[in-house]
Amino acid sequence: MTRTMTFDDDVLKALGKQESIELLHLMVLIRQFEQTAYLRYLQGEIPGTLHQCQGQEAVAVGVCSVLESTDWITSTHRPHGHALAKGMDPAAAMAEIYGRETGCLGGRGGSMHLGDPDIGMLPSVAIVGGGVTLAPGLAFAMQTQGSSSVVACFFGDGAVNEGAFHEGVNFAAVKKLPVIFVCENNSYGASTPFHETTLNTDIASRGAAYGIPSESVDGMNVLAVRTAAERAVARARDGGGPTLLECRTYRYVGHSRGDARGYRSKDEEAQWEERDPIEQWKTVLLDSGLVAADEVDETIKSAKAVVKEALKGAQNAPKAAVHTALEPTAIFAAPGGHEGEPAGPLEEDPSTHEDDRRLSIAEALREGIQEEMLRDSSVVLLGEDVGVPGGFGGAFGIYLGLSEEFGRARVVDTPISEKAIMGVAIGGAIAGLRTLPDLQYADFIFESMDEIVNEAAKLRYMSGGRISIPTVLRSPVGASQRGAQHAQCPESFFLHVPGLKVLCISDPFTAKGGIKAALRDPDPVLVFEHKLLYGAAKRQEAGSIDSRAYVPPDEYEIPVGQARIRRRGKDVTVVATFTELYDALSVADDLANDGISVEVIDPVWLAPFPWETIFESVGRTGRLVVAHEAHRTGGWGAEVAARVSERLHGRLKAPVLRLGSADVPMPFAPWLEAAVLPSRDQLTETIRHSANWTDHITLS
């Protein structure tokens, strides 16, 4: 072929014979791996799908050749080349795409999710742009820990139009994080030409917008990629911050298995194949005299033999055992990661304590966070307006004084970038920190749903329990006359996501013990708090709610999965959170005068839910009312009603009744808001109906 690759004789000599051969070996290894996998896929041996990278080998090999074993990479739905270039055993990679027990992730990841923490590779993120927010998190942890390690973040041209790209690159730039952002620009997002979706197709030019160096590189030239990556890595290690590399390359195959490439011309493909990275590198090595022809042949033969052996191993390896898919320990690292609870419910009511040490929820949260930051130097708080001197201390002042005490390296102000905040929190947690991200309002959590649902919740499971993500997201919820976009109670969304723990804080005692338990937990915890309960507050119907209570100065936790029985009763069980919990306690006092004995339970942990506590209580009373401010349809009360009905059918004296907000967005005006929210009067009437249920009574 005609050689189009240019090279510097001095650079080639400095690279040396052994390293030059290794670059060839890795590129051939990747090409052969991809070709072999493709053929076996066509034979029906490999399940799922394949996204291959034939033609792009020089990018993965060039970048990874300058990384150390302690460096990390993040990859995409097209991860085979990156994994092999970073040092993954081809046998483990092949077995994984076969779904075998000996795969790098035990068959849980498959082709789109190759990864191995031992070689510094996260399970690859199949969501376009997903790794661009995680990589700064890994780098943030390395920077915080004083490590010289760096992170290479691979992504395609389509990702640069994702919000994650802007947020991740901007965050890394602002904090001068050691990240090399590597864009594999193959000119197509699936089948759509990049120029049809993007006016400025010069991806490297985007670096200027973030104030970071950037470079456009011939991605078919392994030496050019390596040289550019070497500069970027050196800069990152020296504290110079991130670099954006645009590697112009081409994939010879379609986007995935079913892509016949009808959107590309034969001439276009032929022109790129003339610049094949493997053939060009062979020509360079032979023309330079650095490597003899027989050595090139032996290198190619050796790489093919490795893949052949990997294929044989995968074909003969046992399938991943079915029971491993259902092991609770693969979902959670800590106790409470399965149905049931680690301890019985807490019955003490601290509000009756005679000690005058009464704190608000805000004060109790601050005390718990402060104690954990003193106890564990890996606890890092990051979010919007959390640490600026003279600033807000968070949207509700929870963090006031913490930046002065712990410094701004541990109380980290961030851009208004919810995806980046959560991505950094997750990546930082994976790399050894305990992160406490803050998004100000629960309504803003939807901006970071990809990071929470697709990454925080799944990476432990996908890695076979080899990755832990100790991150705690605090989110204020509830109506407070702020309108529909600052009033939601989204906690029910996350009960549907295996891999997340959900904590609802309704009083100061739970606030301190709960936040401490969450910050010590090795799994991702979402903490929800009602904004009207941070101190004494007013509700339109309920009047004044004083949420201040006695909080012990001593060490204590509310263990994961432990409920609190706030009041004992024998006629009706009420399970409630937040403001509805206070209404339930008040209503229970009133109904006691009418001879109706109400048991009130604060579940505290919605995931894992304290099922045995609820079953035991309802088994005694025979009646259950669930009250929450979340919308009635699809609220967590619906799941409680279903499970109680399944478990205690035949022992119930009345149907399970639920009370929640009306199924409309929350209005602003106080009188309109009150009409949507569940009221104290409605709760009273619902409990009466349950206690006096007969077949002819119906509820509207």
Find, among 603, 615, 610, the residue nearest to 656 by Cα. 615
The region of weakest confidence among 85-99, 198-212, 539-553 is 539-553
| CA gap 661, 582 in Å, rounded | 16
Tell me, what's the pLDDT at 12?
83
* Rounded-to-integer distance, Cα 118 and Cα 101, Å: 17
What's the pLDDT score for residue 696? 47
Q: Is the pLDDT of residue 172 over 60?
A: yes
Residue for token pair 């800069």: 235
What pLDDT, in 10s, does the model give residues 18-54?
999 999 999 999 999 999 999 999 899 988 888 888 8
Q: Where in the chain is the domain with CATH 3.40.50.970?
A: 16-216+223-316, 350-550
**Strand order through the sheet with 214-218:** 72-74, 151-156, 179-185, 243-248, 214-218
> Whose CA is closest to 133, among 100, 167, 161, 89?
167
Condensed to tens digits (0 to 9), the pLDDT of residues 70-105 reads 999 999 999 999 999 999 999 999 999 999 999 999
- 199 has pLDDT over 90: no
- Does the domain formed by 564-691 have CATH 3.40.50.920? yes
Q: State the pTM of this model.
A: 0.90
Say whether 628 is catalytic. Answer: no
Mean pLDDT of 269-284: 92
Point out the least confidently predicted range of 470-484, 538-552, 606-620, 638-652.
Answer: 538-552
Q: Smallest Cα–Cα separation from 512: which of 492, 527, 490?
A: 527
Residue 416's pLDDT band, with cuts at 50, 70 and 90, is confident
Exposed, middle or buried, 648 (CB in 10 Å: 0-12/13-18/19+)? middle
Among candidate residues 412, 365, 358, the one with its CA nearest the CA of residue 385 = 412
Q: Which two tokens stand for residue 209?
A: 């917008």
Going by pLDDT thresholds of 50, 70 and 90, the confidence category of residue 541 is very low
CATH 3.40.50.970 fits 350-550, yes or no: yes
**51, 113, 255, 486: which is the annotated catalytic residue?**
486
User: Who has greater pLDDT, 539 or 260?
Assistant: 260
Query: Given a cut of 90, is residue 352 above it in pLDDT?
Result: no
Q: What is the pLDDT of residue 639?
A: 96
Name the superfamily (CATH) of residues 16-216+223-316.
Thiamin diphosphate (ThDP)-binding fold, Pyr/PP domains (3.40.50.970)
Angle between helices 17-42 and 277-288 (to 10 degrees): 150
Q: Percentage of residues in the chain with pLDDT exceeding 90?
A: 64
- Comparing 700 with 16, the larger pLDDT belongs to 16
Q: What average pLDDT does the structure give for the chain?
A: 89
**Residue range(s) of every CATH 3.40.50.920 domain in the chain:** 564-691
Residue type, 363: E
Q: Where are the alpha helices (DSSP H) in 194-325?
A: 194-197, 207-210, 222-237, 266-273, 277-288, 293-316
| 3-class DSSP assignment, residue 473 | strand
